[in-house]
Structure 1
Amino acid sequence: MTTSIIPTIQSYYTVKQQPQDNPPQYCTIQWRRNQLLVMPPGQVKQPYMPSLHQKHLLVECLKATPATLVRIDPKLGEARLQFWADACQAADLPIFLRIPSTDSQPKISSSLQGALKRLSNWLVALIFLIAFAPLILGLVSLMYLHSKGPIFSCQWHIGERGRLFKVIKFRTTVTSQKAFEEDAVYQNSLGDRKDKEELTVLGRWMRKYGLDNLPQLLNVLRGEMSLTGPRCWSLKDAVRLNFEAQRHLNRLPGIMGLWEVEAESDLLHLDSQIS
């Protein structure tokens, strides 16, 4: 059974009639089988909910709701998907894209072969991480000495069954106080952010040899990626895929698939896959 408003969220604060100066609601909240569904506005109307526009309010509501996970429609767009993903991360609640399923998809998690593959991926990733530890520590030291800002960059990507997770990479771009301020505004609201990349000297060298991807071994250890597999789509690209192409988002993505795509990024065109 589906209801239009989650009782826990609705009772968490006093629901007010939408004033003229408040932004319109961009989504419809529904509850189904312990899942919180976030969909584009439809025929079901709901009262004005401030938490849909303020991250800290949304985090508090998500912590109070009995939902075990959130499913969000990709039609809401990149900015709103990232807004919800950041809030769910802060509330320690998994979030998935509502993507079409496929009958031909193997149930890897329930098969012995899948369990063995995950175990082998984990062991190989651990061996690689230990083997490359001196190189990783050296890169961390160089970044600390020659490039101000965070060591790693984390961007939302789409994992198995449409689950959103952050791919870990070495930061290769220049950071500034202005960039930090713009990012803070973006993280706490639904404002648009203009991504401007300016590579550092070390970052350009790391990208040339693919060394910025070494931290992705941590994603393999966490079970979010595989060493080999289909392309790991970023959130930005995933929302532009058509209905049929989104079926591939159900599978566990691989590091090699992501590296191959990045190596050909200058020649890659998505026009044939974008609706």
Structure 2
Amino acid sequence: MTTSIIPTLENLYDVTQQHQDNRSYCTLQWRRGKLLVKLPGQVKQPYLPSLNSKRSLIECLQHSPVSLVSIDPKLGEALLRFWADACEQAHKPIFLRIPAGNKLPKQPNQPLQRLIDWIAALMLLLLVSPVMLGLIILMQVYSPGSLFCREWHVGERGKLFRAIKFCSTTKHNITPLGRWMRKYSLDNLPQLFNVLRGDISLTESHSWTLEDAVQLNQLPEITASWEIEAQSNALQLDTQTL
């Protein structure tokens, strides 16, 4: 027997008609452990004000049978970050629904290629470690503050991951040292740790930022079959667990 951690909601609510321009609303549909987050559609949905709270959303995801989250990039960067942060803290993988025509960064699928990437990244880290140490010292002297920043990037099959970089800005301004590091791509050296983790490959080292993915994803969507089926069924929170 399944129970919902959200109280049963009696009134269904047409998001499209009442809040068409409010990007804080979205349609939730799920099937076989996959939660689809998309723009408000014609299907009436329960109104879930608790999901506007990140803490409530995290707890909801943690106690749900959802194995992964697929989110529509048309929801906008702010809402994507909101869901990505919540999924990260709930330990649920999150993927962007990218059209098939857009070429995503590739991650090596072959174990041998993955092993080669791991060994090469480890050797490169050993070689550039004096450079990275020198940069850390310079950053502490000329632009004290956070040494590393973790930005949302898009990897294989649209999976969101945190790319590790040297911080080249303070608040909203780029520092002279940061400008110099960007010129020679030295701020990207910590992404070798992402290669070790399997987020990206050395052969396909470039990955989209979340902002790039939202801007580039303007082609008509090619929706997976499970998503097409899900569109015919409203999310039933009184009988299923979110």
> Partner residue of 1:79?
78
Distance change >3 Å, CA 151–CA 124, structure 1 → 2: same
| TM-score normalized with structure 1 length | 0.68
Correspondence for 1:183? none
C-alpha separation in 2, matches of 1:76 and 1:35: 18
SS of equivalent residue, structure 1 residue 157: strand
Unpaired segments of 5 or more residues in structure 2? 223-242
Q: Higher strand proportion, which one? A: 2
Please report how far the alpha carbon of residue 101 of structure 1 lies from its aligned counterpart in structure 2 after TM superposition: 3.9
Other-structure match for 2:164: 168
Say if 2:99 and 2:217, in contact at 8 Å, map to a contact too: no
Q: Distance in 2 between matches of 1:56 and 1:107?
A: 32
Find the aligned partners of 2:27 and 2:190 in 1 and give their Cα distance: 37
Secondary structure of the 1:227 match is coil
Work out whether residues 50 and 57 of structure 1, in 8 Å CA contact, stay in contact via their aligned partners in 2: no
Give the 5 Å matches for 1:247-266: none
- The structural deviation recorded for 1:100 is 3.2
Output the TM-score relative to the length of structure 2: 0.77
Provide the C-alpha distance between the structure 2 equivalents of 1:133 and 1:107, rounded to a whole number of angstroms.
25
Provide closer, same or farther for how the CA distance between residues 213 and 107 of structure 1 changes in structure 2, counting only shifts above 3 A.
Answer: closer
Per the TM alignment, residue 138 of structure 1 is displaced from its structure 2 partner at its CA by 1.9
Report the Cα distance in structure 1 between the residues aligned to 2:208 and 2:221, rounded to whole angstroms: 10
Shift of 1:52: 2.8
Letter in 2 for 1:31: W
Q: How many residues align?
A: 211
Note the 1:28-67 alignment, pairs <5 A: 28-67=27-66
Question: Of 208, 227, 238, which aligns to 2:202?
Answer: 227
Q: Percent identity?
A: 54
Q: Provide the C-alpha distance between the structure 1 equivalents of 2:23 and 2:187, rounded to a whole number of angstroms.
A: 41
- Once the two structures are superposed, the pairs formed by residues 125-136 of structure 1 within 5 Å of their partners are 125-136=121-132
Residue matched to 2:230: none
The question of 1:203 aligning with 2:203 is answered no
1:68-127: CA deviation from partner (whole Å, max 9, x where unpaired): 11111111111111110011011111000122347x999952xxxx22211111110000
For 1:163 and 1:221, the matched residues in 2 are separated by 17
Q: Is the 8 A contact 1:16 1:48 kept in 2?
A: no
- Aligned-residue Cα RMSD (Å) equals 2.9
